[in-house]
Amino acid sequence: MKKKILSLVLCIMMVFCFSACSNKGDSKATGGNSGNIEVGIVLPTKDEPRWIQDQGKFEELLGKAGFTNQVLFSQGSSATEKANVETLISKGMKVLIICAQDASAAAATVEAAKAAGVTVIAYDRLITGTDAVDYYVTFDSVAVGEAMGTFLSEKASGTGNPLYLYAGAATDNNAFLFFQGAWNILQPKIADGTFVIKNSSEALALKDTKELTRDQLSTIIGQVTTDWDFNVAKSKAEAHLTAVSAADKGNVFVLVPNDGTSRSIADVFAADSDVSSYVITGQDAEVASIQYVIDGKQSMTVFKDTRTLAADSINMAVSILKGETPATDATYDNGKKEVPSKQTPVVVVTQDNVKSALIDSGYYDASKFTGLN
Ligand code: BGC
């Protein structure tokens, strides 16, 4: 009888432990005790494949490096982001790696971390208006936009080519850098008549201005933003194509800031019978977009190797935890300070190099795709 009671108690304990352990929501702790986190990572959303890729790399690399860590997602909310950072502070976090939901709203959040003695690394997106950002690990975001602008320009011949412009969320500093990069290349081609902007009166009004101020960029982005949201992107593209005449369509060129919004917008352009062909940009090399590239439904993507970015930030965190000064190779002005930064180059992926850039490099397994040569 005693034995039976003992095994029943053990069973209950096991069930309790199992449900407690699996009830961690979107967070994960590896490499040791979850109550003692050395490196905390906060990412914007689970709803975009881009950030799931980053999560995977972090967990793999930090686990290997032997550091206790936890990845939390903000799910599009600055309030959740703040709560996540507070949770990590309460668990003793020493280094915070954070990709902010909103560049300026995150300032107060990282100031709280800094006040608790945490070293703050902004990851991919810069946090603005605060001196509480110690380091910034990023891709060359102006180069991302320039790669898109160059791609569109190289595909266009003659004059009068219809151009549709889209941008990222105005709360994301990167949206400015991407657009600025694209504008660097596209503006001379708009000024000389190669392209004619069809969906932005604000961009059209500035067509002769090469160097846009932050306010001018804001005005254009305010008009053509996708908010990084697939549905916003879709309905904006639908509204734009409804507002123009058949003569404004034909062989069109579409600047789109990332893969998720690119697939949404590409579907809208593909469904319009007055659009005979479209050249469309993207970034992140998401699996679904690589399939679109292979199938000829998305023209290019800018591949940002998250293995490098995650590794760079982890190397930084390791140096910080060892009491060393991490290596940097650039600085970014966040409005309050020149933030020491580590910058990674980007690669343009098209049908021609999809295999060498993404499969042969080991980034993706070929079995994820169909029709790959
Ligand atoms: C990132 C992109 C991403 C976008 C939307 C940007 O800050 O740099 O890679 O597609 O946010 O999440």
pLDDT tens sequence across 314-348 = 999 999 999 999 999 999 999 999 999 999 999 99
Distance, CA of 370 to CA of 372 (rounded, Å): 6
pLDDT of residue 63: 82
Higher pLDDT, 217 or 36: 217
Q: Which of 228, 295, 247 is nearest to 267 (CA)?
A: 295
Phi/psi of residue 234, nearest 5 degrees = -65, -50
Nearest CA to ligand 1 atom 9: 284
Model confidence, pTM:
0.90
To test the pocket of ligand 1, the residue of 54, 101, 228 to mutate (highest count of ligand atoms within 8 Å of its CB) is: 228
pLDDT above 90: residue 26: no
pLDDT of residue 59: 87
Atom of ligand 1 nearest to the CA of 259: 10
Asked whether the CA dihedral 322, 55, 87, 75 is positive or negative, the reply is: positive
pLDDT of residue 5: 44
Instruction: Answer whether 124 contacts ligand 1 (Cβ < 6 A).
Output: yes
Q: Cα of 291 to ligand 1 centre, how many Å? A: 19
Nearest CA to ligand 1 atom 5: 228
Distance, CA of 25 to CA of 267 (rounded, Å): 33
Nearest CA to ligand 1 atom 6: 174
Distance, CA of 48 to CA of 59 (rounded, Å): 18
pLDDT above 80: residue 134: yes
The chain-wide mean pLDDT, for the chain, equals 91
Q: Taking the mean position of all CA atoms in its chain, how far away is CA 143?
A: 14
Helix, strand, coil percentages for the chain (3-state, nearest 5) = 45, 20, 35
Q: What is the mean pLDDT of residues 163-181?
A: 98
Q: Cα of 245 to ligand 1 centre, how many Å? A: 32
pLDDT of residue 62: 85
pLDDT band for position 19 (cuts 50, 70, 90): very low
Q: What is the mean pLDDT of residues 190-198?
A: 98
Q: What is the mean pLDDT of residues 120-148?
A: 97
pLDDT above 60: residue 28: no
pLDDT band for position 197 (cuts 50, 70, 90): very high
pLDDT of residue 279: 98
Contact 255, 263 (CB under 8 A): no
Q: What amino acid occupies position 294?
A: I
Higher pLDDT, 85 or 306: 85
Digit-coded pLDDT (tens) for 111-123: 999 999 999 999 9
Instruction: Answer whether 178 contacts ligand 1 (Cβ < 6 A).
Output: no
Higher pLDDT, 59 or 243: 243
pLDDT of residue 35: 64
Q: Cα of 293 to ligand 1 centre, how many Å? A: 19
Q: What is the mean pLDDT of residues 276-283?
A: 98
Q: Cα of 19 to ligand 1 centre, how many Å? A: 34
DSSP state of 140: -
pLDDT band for position 288 (cuts 50, 70, 90): very high
pLDDT above 90: residue 12: no
